[in-house]
A and B are shown apart, each in its own frame.
Chain A
Amino acid sequence: MSSENNILVKLKNAGIRQNDKWLVQGVSLEVEKGKIVTLIGPNGSGKSTTAKIALGIYKKIEGNVEKFTDKIGYVPQKISVDWTLPLRVHDFMVLTENLKDEEINKALTLTGVLNLKNKNLGNLSGGEFQRVLLARAISKKPELLVLDEPVQGVDFTGEIALYKLIKEISDKLNCGILLISHDLHTVMSATDHVVCLNGHVCCSGSPIDVAKNNEYKALFGEQASQILSRYEHKHDHVHSNDGSIKQKN
């Protein structure tokens, strides 16, 4: 199968300008079926903006974006529901698509929040809300998932479980995922392609390539590239508590 047919969304030299200032420019990337592409970069580097460009939320952009699917699930970075709008988790799940009750239950179970189904959205904690957002995005079985910091505010063990879930979904539904994350550990271990942004694309490639890149080191510091080397080596040795390294048998 040629990879051309698997492309879900393709950005070519895309960017957006607001009040004569570039929010982000010259971004080229593509998300394929079954692949996870991760955007990393410091605050204000244009990660969310790039995701919104890919989603077609902005109307006046430079460059071009081609979308090859309509089945999209989106977890925005921030969402606030006004008090005037009484909305239960259940109502929120069917916001953009009519789902059967069992589909709703399944998605909520996967993210571990089935018990919140009849709760008001305004009464959820930050972490619970993120789980509901993720459940909603996956419940419609999308071909493309765009996740803007999907685990913010989720506790540590939950975070690991959710990232595992995201990886599973990508495999099971064979959907492409555009992920924005701050967590370099996860990014480097579960991602197929990394795009490092800082107003433009600093560097991109496989996690290993990016970690070796000097611009990446300049942006995140020397330690960040060590994160990866630990992953890279973890298969042939173990780090013991005293700092010595033992070879695996």
Chain B
Amino acid sequence: MFDDFFIRALFAGIGVAFVTGPLGCFVIWRRLSYFGDTLAHSALLGVTIAYSLEFNIAFSVFITSSLIALILVQLQNKTNLPGDALLGLLAHSSLAVGLVVIGFLTFIRFDIMGLLFGDILAVTVNDIYIIWFGGALILLILKLIWKPLFASTVNYELAEAEGLNPDRAKAIFTILMAAIIAISIKMVGLLLITGMLIIPAAMARNISDSPLKMVTYSIIGGLLSVLIGLFSSLEFNTPSGPSIVAAALFLFILSLLKIKQTIKLKN
């Protein structure tokens, strides 16, 4: 069944969309889009390490991104630099170091474009297993920490006061972010992963009136983006990541029309 590269890409993309849907909502609610970007940029370093040490890419990216998240927390505690400056510092320096390392690895041929923007031709059966098993695990863990994570997203002190341990939920969520980047990097590419996280969720916000609806619509939006994106990628021979994100943008614009309508109705 997985013989055809396009079928493989479809399965991989659908798996990714199921996970980016709910995580993306939290990225928007908790204002983490730059944090997601930083983790994604650092993924390049993870990829180079994977190549030079002959590791699995997803595993290596997961470890590198988690480490970068840890370093960020340390920097936040030790310096007075504002959060966005720290994020920029980490994002670009890890991207730079990654590219420098690639320069040294002359014996390996890199498809840089594929890394940055995703490459459906590169998706293997093994990748599909990683996406579906990894994705299922991410969703399961997210379900387990949903209550404390969501409560502390609404109000940290309330969650802490009523004994939900929001700090632990936040730490686990950070690891989940690293994990989704690790499993989706081949599909979407590291420059566009954050787009895959936030655009369907932003679209969902425009048409939802409860958190659960927003998560559901965000998943549906992600799935549609993957389908539209991949088919047009096949049709027009465009890179998969940008095609998927462009499809997500198209859906977002449609959702804006719906907002305009409701405003009109209210008046």
Chain A residues at the B interface, C-beta cutoff of 8 Å: 52, 55-57, 70, 72-74, 76, 79, 81-82, 84-88, 90-92, 95-97, 120, 146
Report whether B158 and A76 are in contact in the complex, using a CB–CB cutoff of 8 Å.
yes
- B29, B151, B162 — which one has the most chain A CB atoms within 10 A of its CB? B162
Question: Of B125-133, B187-195, B210-218, which binds chain A?
Answer: B210-218
Q: Which residues of chain A come closer than 8 Å to B157, judged between CB atoms?
A: 52, 55, 57, 74, 76
Report whether B162 and A96 are in contact in the complex, using a CB–CB cutoff of 8 Å.
yes
* Number of A-B residue pairs at CB separation under 8 A: 67
- Beyond known contacts A86-B209, A87-B210: 20 more, CB 8 A cutoff: A52-B157, A55-B157, A55-B160, A57-B161, A74-B162, A76-B158, A76-B161, A79-B154, A79-B158, A81-B154, A84-B205, A85-B29, A85-B211, A86-B208, A86-B214, A87-B154, A95-B150, A95-B154, A95-B159, A96-B164
Q: Which residues of chain B come closer than 8 Å to A79, judged between CB atoms?
A: 154-155, 158
A-B contact pairs, 20 of them (CB 8 A): A56-B160, A57-B161, A70-B163, A76-B158, A76-B161, A79-B158, A84-B29, A85-B29, A85-B153, A85-B211, A86-B208, A86-B209, A86-B210, A86-B211, A87-B210, A88-B210, A90-B210, A96-B147, A96-B151, A146-B161
| Whole-angstrom CA separation of A88 from B163 in the bound complex | 23
Q: Which residues of chain A come closer than 8 Å to B75, judged between CB atoms?
A: none
Which B residue's beta carbon lies closest to that of A72? Answer: B162
Given contacts A84-B205, A88-B209, contact A96 B29 (CB under 8 A): no
| Whole-angstrom CA separation of A226 from B162 in the bound complex | 38
From A82, A95, A97, contact of B29 by CB (8 A): A82
| Whole-angstrom CA separation of A200 from B103 in the bound complex | 62
Chain B residues at the A interface, C-beta cutoff of 8 Å: 28-29, 147, 150-151, 153-155, 157-164, 205, 208-214
| Whole-angstrom CA separation of A95 from B151 in the bound complex | 6
| Whole-angstrom CA separation of A88 from B210 in the bound complex | 6
Q: Which residues of chain A come closer than 8 Å to B151, judged between CB atoms?
A: 95-96
Report whether A96 and B159 are in contact in the complex, using a CB–CB cutoff of 8 Å.
yes
Which A residue's beta carbon lies closest to that of B28? Answer: A84
Q: Which residues of chain A come closer than 8 Å to B211, judged between CB atoms?
A: 85-87, 91
| Whole-angstrom CA separation of A146 from B157 in the bound complex | 12
- Least distance between B105 CB and chain A CB atoms (Å): 41
From B29, B158, B213, contact of A74 by CB (8 A): B158
Report whether B210 and A91 are in contact in the complex, using a CB–CB cutoff of 8 Å.
yes
- Least distance between B191 CB and chain A CB atoms (Å): 23
Q: Which residues of chain A come closer than 8 Å to B213, judged between CB atoms?
A: 86
Report whether B163 and A86 are in contact in the complex, using a CB–CB cutoff of 8 Å.
no
Which A residue's beta carbon lies closest to that of B209? Answer: A86
Given contacts A86-B214, A91-B211, contact A72 B163 (CB under 8 A): yes
Which B residue's beta carbon lies closest to that of A52? Answer: B157
Q: Which residues of chain A come closer than 8 Å to B164, judged between CB atoms?
A: 96
Which A residue's beta carbon lies closest to that of B204? Answer: A86
Q: Which residues of chain A come closer than 8 Å to B155, judged between CB atoms?
A: 76, 79, 81
| Whole-angstrom CA separation of A87 from B163 in the bound complex | 21
Report whether B158 and A85 are in contact in the complex, using a CB–CB cutoff of 8 Å.
no
| Whole-angstrom CA separation of A55 from B166 in the bound complex | 14
The 10 A-B residue pairs with the shortest CB-CB distance in the complex, in nearest-first order: A55-B161, A74-B161, A96-B162, A95-B151, A57-B160, A85-B29, A70-B163, A86-B208, A79-B155, A96-B151
